[in-house]
Chain A
């Protein structure tokens, strides 16, 4: 009950803030929307990589499915409910959910075969699937193929972004505190023991995976209707790594930590861009700060060596 109240209050706050966000500096507005979208992506992926202890490396693929499906819907059928602003917005929300559902179905198709595998294999298979999804989009003419897809109306605003972010966090937190959450944790802690206790490990893994894919699809739809242009290369391996780094930095299995990490890592590239323009700094430092992947990779290695539970995660019992 308390959770629902918090959710309602957040939605209300989003609405009020959204009303006044019109006069905002577009640069900061852009970053703000980016934060919301990344929160959805990272908390969703945290269900799989954090709570359930699997390792998906292809989250950008599901984001692509949501982005392309919802864009295709709004581009082709955007006015089918009526041409008024309310009706097109209503259709946008429906398209978002359909995009999420499309991503979820893809997640199911990917998850069923691959979740029988463990750790390393799963990472490669999900990576492979996201490359296949990208390949299909690149070869499909109605989706703009290599040129990308553009011309969507900018429906995404502060309210929709953060309303969906709040919804995602609410669903994830509720789920984790339910029977399902116990199932996820059991799978993470010891798959063999969980199976011996009669837990259908494949079922829990697939549920976590499909939900994560659904939220990624929603995030993709929001992203597409904010930037008004999507390109297959925008959903590549690097994008997946971005999301994975958020989950790991925040602490696998800590929703608050992952949200904070999403905020931090959305602002960081902008800060780095700023740093790379300070002329007083030595040349090599400025060049490195232009390439955020070098820093991300160092961050991953150092974090794993010194604090594998992430910045905000709880220390796990040592596994034998």
Chain B
């Protein structure tokens, strides 16, 4: 029974990683590079919630509830999308034809700038996130026997539900809209895509916006579960989500979601059954094993290197 409980906790944590991992994977799909700053966009999402939360609560006559959460999610997602597009516009676009390593260093620079600039602007001490949802513990009725020991925090259940909705929305965008088709074409073959009249710049900006919006949503959804946020929270979560993206097969959307859930479960199991001090080391260990034995990830297809 304890195992099942850990599994539920792991899924809740993993759904956050899945949302962030999707951003890594989408950007990798269209640009073939890892956006190191992505984890910090997630942090900015949480801080956007921190600053607009009280105002939003006020607009809803100080009653915490689902309405506040949804409207905050929308605002944070829009803000993060704008930030993501701005980062791409200012820092990555001028470097599009340069060697990969230049872009990589820039991405590290952007990530450092956001996390340290965040420490300067927001203050380095952890902030407590406003209570926009009255949290409670949900458990099964006792008449169900042993199963009733299982339970979940309301906030975790809601955030898993919202994650699921966002995943289906993303699936719809990627598979059934014109922009989604353009994204897939671009990741399949950039040159051919541009010859077919696709405006590559707009598609890339859209991809950054979409990925950053998901990261922003993840920022809010984490904060309602663990209401202590700080400017460096994005670094660790970003790295783990990146591992999740690689585990699922980078560039592959269902893979990122699957990888996120798996990493969440692995992490929770390690904390529950081995020791919390090995939490980060194990995740990196998973990354190294994956890269050694199946670099394409669980669902990724192998890609021929062109000379």
Contacts and interface: CB of A to CB of B under 8 A. Distances in A.
Contacts of B91: 301, 305
Interface string B237-281: 001001100100000000000000000000000000000011011
A122 to B, nearest CB: 10
A124 B291 CA distance: 11
Contacts, number: 107
Contact of B94 (A127, A299, A305): A305
Nearest to B124: A291
Given A120-B33, A298-B113, A304-B109, A131 B100 contact: no
A55 B101 contact: yes
Nearest to B108: A300
A105 B44 CA distance: 40
A109 to B, nearest CB: 11
Nearest to B109: A300
Interface stretch (A4-12, A93-101, A111-119, A265-273): A111-119
A30 interface: no
A21 B242 CA distance: 49
How big is chain B's contact interface, by range?
35 or more
Contacts of B98: 308, 319
A33 to B, nearest CB: 26
B124 to A, nearest CB: 9
B161 interface: no
B99 A319 contact: yes
Contacts of A114: 288, 291
Contacts of A138: 277
B120 A135 contact: no
B188 to A, nearest CB: 20
A16 interface: no
B120 to A, nearest CB: 6
A76 B126 CA distance: 41
Contact of A132 (B239, B242, B281, B295): B281
Contacts of B288: 113-114, 125, 128-129
A127 B292 CA distance: 16
A108 interface: no
> What does DSSP make chain A's interface, helix, strand, loop or mixed?
helix
Contacts of A297: 109-113, 116-117
Sorting the interface of chain A by its residue count into under 10, 10 to 19, 20 to 34 or 35 or more gives: 35 or more
B60 interface: no
B51 interface: no
Given A119-B101, A304-B102, A305-B91, A129 B109 contact: no
A105 B108 CA distance: 28
Contact of B34 (A124, A131, A294): A124
Contact of B277 (A129, A135, A300, A304): A135
Nearest to B293: A113
A55 B102 CA distance: 11
Interface of B: 33-34, 91, 94-95, 98-106, 108-113, 116-117, 119-120, 235, 239, 242-243, 246, 277-278, 280-281, 284-285, 287-288, 291-292, 295, 305, 307
Given A55-B101, A124-B242, 17 more contacts: A114-B288, A120-B33, A123-B108, A128-B239, A128-B288, A132-B284, A135-B277, A135-B278, A136-B281, A139-B278, A294-B117, A300-B108, A301-B91, A301-B109, A304-B105, A308-B98, A308-B102
5 contacts: A117-B291, A121-B246, A135-B281, A298-B113, A300-B106
